[in-house]
Amino acid sequence: MSPLLPPDHLERVDSWGQAQHAMAYVFRPSTVEGMRAAFDLARRAGCSVALRGAGRSYGDAALNSEQMLLDLTRMRRVLDWDPEAGVISVEPGVTIGDLWRYVLGDGWWPAVVPGTMQVTIGGCAGMNVHGKNNWVAGTFGEHILSFEALLPGGETVTCSPQENANLFHAMIGGLGLLGCFTRVTLKLKRVHSGWMEVQALAVPHIEGMLEEIDRLKEADYVVGWADGMARGRALGRGQIHVARELEPGEDPAPAQSLRLENQELPDTLLGLLPKSLMWRLMKPFVNNPGMWLINSGKYWASRLSHGHRFTQSHAAFHFLLDYIPGWKRSYLPGGLIQYQAFVPKEQAAQAFREMLARCQAAHLPTYLAVLKRHRPDPFLLTHAVDGVSLAMDFKVTQRNRARLASLAQELDEVVLQAGGRFYFAKDSTLRPETARAFLGQDALKELKRLKERCDPEGLLQTNLARRLFPDLIPTA
């Protein structure tokens, strides 16, 4: 028999949405040598290894039930920083929060950031995340100049768009199934102020939302919030936030506004209520009537502030998911899932209208819906299209799980019909045949070829990989 994995390392690991969890043997290496040792142990024990950063994937992308999990959050050093060129090299466990705090004083900001700053750079690269500027700036991977990675066999590789280009485009967005980033070099974005100018616009329905998002797509940042509970013609009504970086000279004292104190999110609401308590106050509203009230209220408030312009710090504008710490706990005990679909722009209005209506018909309305504009990117497992994404949060309860799963399959049909795609960082519901359908045979063949080259033993696996790509995993 193979040797045991040490029971001391057995931990419960939750998906970020907390609608599922896994027991795994968690190792937290702080050096590349430590990573190697973990791979060796897994090989001897005959088990697989999953890579995990901050654990911000909503579903099972960073879970590995009953096997090994490499938590890379202790690989958290900045390795090199060139404040003239705005080029930084970091270990994979450095977070977006670490990164912007490190560089902002020199007048730089990460070129692409997701809605939370808690994520690690390794996770951002492995999932090829996007931000509210996907149309103008592309995905996170498009700002990676090069990376070094450790393959499970012990080999190290250096990849860039010029060197090992195939592997570069497969490992970025490669779900951590080919190798583990050990050094990521990023090109940052110049900013001339700690402030941004933001404008809020109300839109009366989903068609209006998509028109406005398309019209505003050249802006620095644009994001839409939709009321997923409004019915009929008003379906998909909501609010768009469009933001602009300030030009040089617009901010009279950039050295002042670029200071970190200016960016930190306040820890109280209105200077009084500790935000750490907010989720408890939200909890009674996380149900259909409560969320109807909140969504409607938010929409009518947005009508009042239509066209309103204001300034906001970068951190406050970008990291909405961090604004109320622990908000996801208001969805407990069942947790939440997110369903995000990317649909070509021509089909988006019809597809999104149908999707929102189907959620309502199934009595599973989304409590939070967010829209963004996207463009295609050159990565192998890309989720992007020239179109729009709709991300919907759903509360999970013991009673609605089966209905939610079948609703997700219905929505999958609509998205596939419209030529759409999906995003694995969010996923908990896709079926293997759906993943095959949207990725296509060619991409999956190439993934398999690279898997055989980088990880012939199939050491790198996750629950998501076993669920969606069973062909990728060599059978024992």
In the bound state with another protein, the residue whose beta carbon lies nearer, of 22 and 170, is 22
Q: Does 313 bind another protein (CB under 8 A)?
A: no
**Residue 433 CB, nearest approach to another protein (Å):** 9
Give Cβ neighbours of residue 453 (< 8 Å, ≥ 6 apart): none
CB of 343 to another protein, least distance (A): 23
At its nearest, how many Å lie between another protein and the CB of residue 447?
A: 17
Which residue, chain included where needed, has tokens 């090299």?
89
For another protein, the closer CB: 15 or 330: 15
Four-residue CA torsion sign, 151, 186, 27, 117: negative
Angstrom distance (rounded) from CA 167 to CA 175: 13
Q: What is the dihedral of CA 34, 117, 385, 163, to 10 degrees?
A: -40
Token pair for 412: 């999958």
Using the rule CB under 8 A, is 399 a contact of another protein? no
Quick one: which segment of 281-289, 300-308, 346-354, 401-409 binds another protein (CB under 8 A)? Answer: 401-409
Indicate the residue among 2 and 162 with the shorter CB distance to another protein. 2
**Cα–Cα distance for residue pair 292/366, rounded to 1 Å:** 10
Q: Is 162 in the site for another protein (CB under 8 A)?
A: no
The amino acid present at 199, given as its one-letter code, is: Q
Among 4, 270, 272, 304, binds another protein (CB under 8 A): 4
Strand partners, 201: 240
- CA angle at residue 81 from 80 to 83, to 5 degrees? 165
In the complex, what is the shortest distance from the CB of residue 11 to another protein, in angstroms, rounded to a whole number? 7
Among 116, 401, 458, 471, binds another protein (CB under 8 A): 401
The interface region with another protein, picked from 12-20, 192-200, 229-237, 449-457 by CB under 8 A, is: 12-20
- By CB under 8 A, name the one of 33, 40, 66, 211 that touches another protein: 66
CB of 424 to another protein, least distance (A): 13
68 versus 125: smaller Cβ distance to another protein:
68
Does 402 sit near another protein (CB under 8 A)? yes
Helix axes 401-417, 345-361, angle to 10 degrees: 160
Site map (CB under 8 A) of another protein, residues 23-62, x = contact: x-----------------------x-----------xx--
- Torsional sign, CA 261, 265, 267, 270: positive
Does 432 bind another protein (CB under 8 A)? Our answer is: yes
Pick the binder of another protein from 30, 32, 65, 312 (CB under 8 A). Answer: 65
Contact status: 183 vs another protein (CB under 8 A):
no
Q: How many of the chain's residues bind another protein (CB under 8 A)?
A: 37
DSSP 3-state helix, strand, coil percentages of the chain (rounded to 5)?
Answer: 35, 25, 40
Name which of 96, 142, 124, 61 is nearest 375 in CA terms: 142
404 belongs to the binding site for another protein (CB under 8 A):
yes
Phi then psi for residue 419, to 5 deg, are: 75, 30
Our finding on whether 199 is near another protein (CB under 8 A) is: no
Interaction between residue 329 and another protein (CB under 8 A): no
Q: Are strands 268-269 and 238-245 parallel, antiparallel or unpaired?
A: unpaired
Cis status, amide bond into 333, omega within 30 of 0: yes
**CA distance to 86, 192, 219, per residue, from 243 (Å):** 22, 14, 7
Instruction: Provide the token pair at 272.
Output: 């009084």
The conformation of residue 318, written as its DSSP 8-state character, comes to H
Show the CA angle centred on residue 318, arms to residues 313 and 320, nearest 5°.
Answer: 105
89 is an interface residue for another protein by CB under 8 A: no
Q: Which stretch binds another protein (CB under 8 A): 7-15, 103-111, 141-149, 258-266?
A: 7-15
Q: Does 337 engage in binding with another protein (CB under 8 A)? A: yes
Tell me, rounded to whole angstroms, the distance of Cα 464 from its chain centroid. Answer: 15
Task: Return d(Cα 173, Cα 381) in angstroms, integer.
Answer: 6
Contact segment (CB under 8 A) with another protein among 199-207, 225-233, 294-302, 466-474 equals: 466-474
155 binds another protein (CB under 8 A): no
Helices in 84-225 by DSSP H: which ranges? Answer: 96-103, 121-127, 134-137, 165-171, 206-215
470 sits near another protein (criterion: CB under 8 A): yes
> Candidates 235-243, 303-311, 350-358, 460-468 — which segment interacts with another protein by CB under 8 A?
460-468
Binding another protein (rule: CB under 8 A), the pick from 210, 396, 415, 460 is: 396
Minimum CB separation from another protein for residue 103, in Å?
37
Q: How far is the CB of 70 from another protein (least distance, A)?
A: 17
DSSP string, 119-135: SBHHHHHHHT---TTHH
The rounded distance, in Å, linking the Cα atoms of 244 and 250 is 12
Residues that bind another protein (CB under 8 A): 1-2, 4-5, 7, 10-12, 15, 19-23, 47, 59-60, 65-67, 337, 396, 401-402, 404-405, 408, 428-429, 431-432, 463, 466-468, 470, 475
